[in-house]
């Protein structure tokens, strides 16, 4: 993978330092140590023999591999003085420090892990020196849903089923259910992925919507499921989900920021025509009500009808 020349160069510079200390290192071990695939490592090892200082009697790096072990035949050749690890760049220090500070604030992180993270952060700050300065220009805060988090964390480590009272904003109702927790994750908010015994399906629960939680004595027994790839986004509408079309004015443009959508076409006067898919269009009644004069549901007609109906019923209660 030729991905990014800068990333590859920085990796190869570290690799050379690392390999110098470890004659005959195994491809599998080095790939793991560097967090890359064996193919990526082999790709780097193909490039390294082309590198060196051919200037004034220097040599190219004589590094080769039989696919299992890696050998460097001239680590002491002149001009290949690449012994010491390199200082951290500003972006590298920022990436590591900002992430470490954010993770350290997560509720429910085990205390021993938090302590290790804080110690590591202090050491990195010291080693990065002035390169650490720019890291103050980026910060990340996770929302704390501490109490519930600690309960779910305990349920997972003790492999116990939990009982929840959970709020569904789409239906504006609390439901009770028993679930077998699979994992916790944080993407802005903190979520639990669990096997729901009520629906016999995998469900994701946002922890700030858990009204009540209790650990049960029954063992948790989720069927083996493949974990979702979080980089794909939390909401992944299926192709067969019904389509909803919403037209908003300038005051309703936020809809495109909050709802994953298929398309958002610009309309005259700063409006947008947003097309999205959802398994349950009725759940968007809240949105239709909230939009008011800032937007309208174009289709499906049942959705705009139910919002109109709800608004009329509410007005009647006001004596309008």
Partner 1 sequence: MAIAKAERLMNLALCLLGTRRPLSKGELRASIEAYIEAAPVGESGNDDAFNRMFERDKDDLRELGLIIETVEGLDGETGYQARRDSNRLPAITLDVEEAAALGLAAKVWQQARLAGAASGALQKLRAAGMPLAEDGSLSVLETRIPAHEAAFEPLMLAARDRRPVVFDYRKANAVHPEQRRVEPWALEFCRGHWYLAGWDRDRQAERVFRLSRITGKVRSRSLPFTAPVPDHVTVRTTVESWAGETATGTARIKVRAGHGYPLRARAGVTRDLGDGWDELEIPSGHGLDAWLVEFGPDVIVLEPAELRADVIDRLRAVAKG
CA atoms within 13 A of residue 81's CA, in its CB half-sphere: 2
Is residue 254 a contact residue for partner 1 (CB under 8 A)? Answer: yes
Is residue 293 a contact residue for partner 1 (CB under 8 A)? Answer: yes
Is residue 110 a contact residue for partner 1 (CB under 8 A)? Answer: yes
Footprint of partner 1 on 255-274 (CB under 8 A):
257, 269-270
Cα–Cα nearest to 150, from 182, 110, 101, 99: 110
The H-or-E segment that residue 17 falls in is helix 5-20
Is residue 189 a contact residue for partner 1 (CB under 8 A)? Answer: yes
Is residue 317 a contact residue for partner 1 (CB under 8 A)? Answer: yes
Structural Rg of the chain based on CA atoms: 27
Q: Residue 44 Cβ, how far from partner 1 at the closest point, in Å?
A: 8
Is residue 140 a contact residue for partner 1 (CB under 8 A)? Answer: yes
Is residue 56 a contact residue for partner 1 (CB under 8 A)? Answer: yes
Is residue 215 a contact residue for partner 1 (CB under 8 A)? Answer: no
Q: What angle do CA 125, 101, 149 make, to 5 degrees?
A: 155
Is residue 156 a contact residue for partner 1 (CB under 8 A)? Answer: yes
Is residue 159 a contact residue for partner 1 (CB under 8 A)? Answer: no
Under 8 Å between Cβ of 234 and 193: no
Residues sharing a CB contact under 8 Å with residue 160, sequence separation 6 or more, in sequence order: 154, 215, 216, 217, 218, 219, 220
Per-residue x/- mask for partner 1, residues 77 to 96, rule CB under 8 A? --xxxx-xxxxxxxxxxxxx
Cα–Cα nearest to 17, from 87, 121, 120, 122: 87
User: Closer CB to partner 1, residue 68 or residue 137?
Assistant: 137
User: Closer CB to partner 1, residue 141 or residue 200?
Assistant: 141
Residues sharing a CB contact under 8 Å with residue 199, sequence separation 6 or more, in sequence order: 177
Count, residues in the chain: 320
* Interface residue with partner 1, options 41, 45, 63, 106 (CB under 8 A): 106
Footprint of partner 1 on 191-210 (CB under 8 A):
none
Is residue 5 a contact residue for partner 1 (CB under 8 A)? Answer: yes
Q: Residue 66 Cβ, how far from partner 1 at the closest point, in Å?
A: 22
Is residue 42 a contact residue for partner 1 (CB under 8 A)? Answer: no
Is residue 10 a contact residue for partner 1 (CB under 8 A)? Answer: yes
Footprint of partner 1 on 216-245 (CB under 8 A):
230-231, 233
Mark the segment that binds partner 1 (CB under 8 A) among 172-180, 218-226, 240-248, 273-281.
172-180
Cα–Cα nearest to 36, from 75, 3, 84: 3
Is residue 1 a contact residue for partner 1 (CB under 8 A)? Answer: no
Alpha carbon 191 to its chain centroid, in Å, reads 11
User: Closer CB to partner 1, residue 42 or residue 102?
Assistant: 102
63 vs 48: CA distance, rounded Å:
7
* In the block, residue with structure tokens 């804080």: 118
Q: Total residues contacting partner 1 (rule CB under 8 A)?
A: 125
């Amino acid at each position: 993978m030729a991905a990014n020349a800068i990333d590859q160069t920085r990796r190869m510079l570290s690799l050379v330092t690392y390999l110098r200390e470890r004659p005959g290192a195994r491809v599998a071990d080095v790939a793991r140590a560097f967090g890359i695939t064996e193919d990526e490592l082999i790709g780097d090892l193909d490039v390294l023999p082309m590198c060196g200082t051919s200037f004034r009697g220097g040599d190219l790096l004589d590094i080769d591999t039989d696919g299992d072990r890696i050998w460097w035949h001239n680590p002491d050749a002149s001009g290949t003085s690449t012994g010491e690890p390199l200082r951290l760049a500003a972006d590298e220090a920022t990436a590591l420090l900002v992430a470490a500070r954010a993770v350290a604030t997560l509720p429910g992180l085990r205390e021993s892990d938090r302590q290790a993270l804080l110690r590591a952060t202090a050491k990195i700050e010291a080693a990065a020196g002035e390169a650490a300065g720019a890291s103050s220009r980026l910060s990340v805060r996770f929302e704390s849903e501490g109490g519930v988090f600690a309960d779910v964390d305990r349920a997972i480590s003790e492999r116990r089923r939990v009982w929840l009272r959970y709020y569904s904003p789409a239906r504006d109702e609390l439901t009770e259910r028993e679930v077998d927790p699979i994992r916790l994750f944080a993407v802005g908010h903190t979520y639990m992925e669990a096997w729901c015994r009520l629906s016999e399906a995998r469900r994701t629960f946002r922890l700030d919507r858990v009204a009540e939680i209790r650990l049960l004595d029954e063992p948790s027994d989720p069927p083996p499921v493949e974990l979702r790839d979080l980089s794909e986004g939390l909401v992944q509408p299926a192709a067969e989900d019904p389509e909803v079309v919403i037209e908003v004015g300038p005051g309703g443009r936020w809809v495109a920021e909050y709802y994953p959508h298929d398309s958002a076409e610009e309309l005259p006067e700063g409006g947008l025509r947003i097309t999205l898919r959802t398994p349950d269009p009725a759940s968007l009644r809240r949105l239709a009500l909230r939009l008011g004069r800032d937007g309208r549901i174009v289709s499906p007609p049942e959705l705009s009808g139910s919002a109109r109906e709800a608004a009329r019923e509410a007005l009647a209660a006001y004596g309008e």
